[in-house]
Chain A
């Protein structure tokens, strides 16, 4: 069975600075997808960024980028130029590819605080 681990329950960053959130996962599958979701106090889970395991190039979405290390089974999220609106819970999620399901397996989350 696949598992996702987020070892940082809480992180904090100064506005305009850079912060990295860690995520590791365990799987015997060779092809899969990885996602980072953000959940602000409003509760809605919002997709931040996605990565296909078969792509070696790290995904980037504006100020958000990932460091995907397939061999190490690591998928960290880097937030550059942090903004107050980035404060939220961040969840790393795994999805198998080609097994007939869209089911996501989530980590326990990292609460990010952003200070002015």
Chain B
């Protein structure tokens, strides 16, 4: 079974630009979550999608958005990029039981986003 696939692996952007990151979950997984990892703030939850609906959102500005498609693939978008958005963005997929089972989230390799 293929794991969680994130593309691209690396991305360099400049301030003010916009970026879209992609995540393909494990086959059969219906929930996709996104996390931002930085040395200063650690791992922070961005949002979670289940059946094309956002069912949970972290404390990030509106510049961060996402969506999920009918095949469970997800994209996250960051507009008007700032230097502080430089981070590793991790995507995780799960069966989507909403916390009702011990099934873990499975993570992708992440997208390293650098803002110049």
Pairing of A with B: yes
Chain A contacts to B: CB under 8 angstroms: 33, 35, 37, 42-47, 50, 52, 91, 95-109
Range class of the B interface residue count? 20 to 34
Chief secondary structure at chain A's binding surface: loop
Chain B contacts to A: CB under 8 angstroms: 31, 33, 35, 42-43, 45, 48, 55-56, 88, 90, 92, 94, 96-100, 102, 104-110, 112
Given A102-B94, A106-B35: 13 more A-B contacts, CB < 8 Å: A35-B104, A47-B104, A98-B98, A98-B99, A99-B98, A100-B98, A101-B55, A101-B98, A102-B48, A102-B97, A103-B48, A104-B33, A106-B43
Bound CA–CA A44/B37 (angstroms): 12
Of A35, A37, A45, A98, which is within 8 A of B100 by CB?
Answer: A98
Are A100 and B55 in contact, with the CB atoms below 8 A? yes
